[in-house]
Amino acid sequence: MKYSWFLPSLVIFVLLCLFLIWSKIHPYQDSLSALIGIWEGFAEINPGIVDPGFVIFKNGGYDGQFFYFLAKSLFSDLNWDLIVDSYFFRLHRIGFTLLIGIPSALFGFEYYPFVATSIPFAIFLFSVYILYSLLPNEQKWLSLFYLFSPYSLNSHLLLVADGFFTSLILIIIYFFKKKSNPILILVLVTIAIFTRELGVFLALAICLHYFSEKKYKLTIAYCIPILFFSIFLFWTRTFSPTHLGTNPLGFGDMIDYPLFGFIKSFFDNGEFHLSPKESMKILFFVQWVALVLYILFFLWNKSFQTKRDFLHEKNKLILFLPILASLGIIFIAEEGYWRSFDNLSRMFTLSLPLVILLQAEKKSKYLSFFLYSSFFLFLFLIIRITIITQTKVYYISP
């Protein structure tokens, strides 16, 4: 078989993932619940919400706990008086909560860590095959960059939505390019928007595509998910939770002037610092620059071609708009994001498979740099999980 490397690559990836999961949970009595990242503070101010036997960290924690808390509050007999940071911000990304909350409710929330790990990983592997299928024969090897994406892998290991969202976007693009049932695509686009707001840009790209083809009914149809999401945002603002959390940030609190967050992340109390562990954010920044330069040069070159040639490229909107939105978020991200490897990693999750599709159409040195440096980050992620990360103080929920 000409592409006999594909299946062995999947096997190697799965074995590596199992090893990394074991590396992350082994210091915590081999409990998968350690992946959730539950902080003692949120466990205490939400009494009774954490299942017995789950790992709770004395210091630290991560966003995976908020998906768990939201799912538990939606599908259990607890009163809906949940206390989390940035309550509305968490609630609006309800797609991932429903994906893992419904099966967890059916089987019992004691199985939540297994559900939240296995389902997104399974969907990711399917999306890898989808990308493999989309690529021309001579470019199918590029799918390996997505299979070994540090961004998707880190998202899945943190039990957050970015990896699932990216998998979903790839599946939508596949059905869109294959001209599948528009209703199916419409449903998937709706789920994507309710998983992450970036899905709006994919919907806009599809709307622009159908508008350019004068298919106005489909144009209006793909505006409906955006309308539904807008109504959902408005509806959730009509009621207030009992407590907005220990750090009730809104979207405006998580942005800064262009690249000010990046610059500020090098200083504490006016003193410059850059540890070896922090140096990875420089590579993330260079990756961001590479993608920006690629898009700028692409637009510049297209400006000298005929209108017909430019319209021929309109299908690339479905790839360009989500990438542009991701780059824009990184551009205005506040310093807290630039100080965190996990946060920065998540910001590039969607861009990588879209870059692969662009690279397959026309090779670019900027895209090549992004892809190969991403593989370097994949190796760094392995080292970070197995060697660098220190064991945290924890206890088991009674």
Over residues 258-278, the mean pLDDT reads 86
pLDDT at site 314: 66
Q: What is the pLDDT of residues 327-377, one digit of tens each?
A: 999 999 999 889 999 999 999 999 999 999 999 998 999 999 999 999 999
Residue 272 pLDDT greater than 70, yes or no = yes
* N-terminal to C-terminal alpha carbon distance within the chain: 54
Residue 253 confidence (pLDDT): 67
- pLDDT average, residue stretch 170-178: 95
181: tokens are: 């049932």
Q: Is the pLDDT of residue 22 over 60?
A: yes
Lowest mean per-residue pLDDT among 117-121, 167-171, 176-180, 345-349: 176-180
Q: What backbone phi and psi angles, to 5 degrees, belong to 390?
A: -90, 150
Q: Give which of 271, 287, 301 is closest to 355, Cα–Cα.
A: 287
Residue percentage of the chain with pLDDT more than 70: 91
The 3-state secondary structure of the chain reads: CCCCCHHHHHHHHHHHHHHHHHHHHHHHCCCHHHHCCEEHHHHHHCCCCCCCCCEEECCCCCCHHHHHHHHHHHHCCCCCCCCCCCHHHHHHCHHHHHHHHHHHHHHCHHHHHHHHHHHHHHHHHHHHHHHHHHCCHHHHHHHHHHHCCHHHHHHHHCCCCHHHHHHHHHHHHHHHHCCCCHHHHHHHHHHHHHHCCCHHHHHHHHHHHHHHCCCHHHHHHCCHHHHHHHHHHHHHCCCCCCCCCCCCCCHHHHECCCCHHHHHCCEECCEECCCCCCCHHHHHHHHHHHHHHHHHHHHHHHCCCCHHHHHHCHHHHHHHHHHHHHHHHHHHECHHHHCCHHHHHHHCCCHHHHHHHHHHHCCCHHHHHHHHHHHHHHHHHHHHHHHHCCCCCEEECC
Look at 145 and 296; give whichever has higher pLDDT: 145
pLDDT of residue 2: 62
Give residue 376's Cα distance to chain centre: 19
Mean pLDDT of 63-75: 92
Mean pLDDT estimate for the chain: 90
Q: How confident is the model at residue 242 (pLDDT cuts 50, 70, 90)?
A: low
Global pTM value? 0.94
The pLDDT assigned to 351 comes to 97
Is pLDDT above 90 for 182?
A: no
Answer whether residue 157 shows pLDDT above 60. Answer: yes
% residues pLDDT > 90 (the chain): 71
Our measurement of the distance from residue 35's CA atom to the centroid of its chain's CA atoms, rounded to an integer in Å, reads 16
Could you tell me the pLDDT band of residue 4, with boundaries at 50, 70 and 90? Answer: confident
pLDDT interval class at 244 (50, 70, 90):
low
What are the two backbone dihedrals, phi and then psi, of residue 37, each rounded to the nearest 5 degrees? Answer: 75, 50
Q: How confident is the model at residue 1 (pLDDT cuts 50, 70, 90)?
A: very low
Q: Which of 144, 176, 198, 189 is nearest to 326 (CA)?
A: 198
**Rounded CA separation 370/94 (Å):** 31
Q: pLDDT (tens digit, 9 = 90+) per residue, 28-39? A: 999 999 999 999
**Cα–Cα distance, 268 to 270 (Å, whole number):** 5
pLDDT for the residue numbered 277: 73
Rounded Cα gap, residues 37 and 353, in angstroms: 27
Give all strands of the β-sheet with 394-396 in edge-to-edge order: 38-39, 55-57, 394-396
Beta bridge partners of 272: 267
Backbone φ, ψ for residue 255 (5° rounding) = -125, 165
Q: CA quadruple 127, 148, 115, 251: dihedral positive or negative?
A: negative
Query: What per-residue confidence (pLDDT) applies to 302?
Result: 65
Q: How many other CB atoms are found less than 10 A from the CB of residue 156?
A: 26
Domain residue ranges in the chain: 6-390
Average pLDDT on 243-252 reads 60
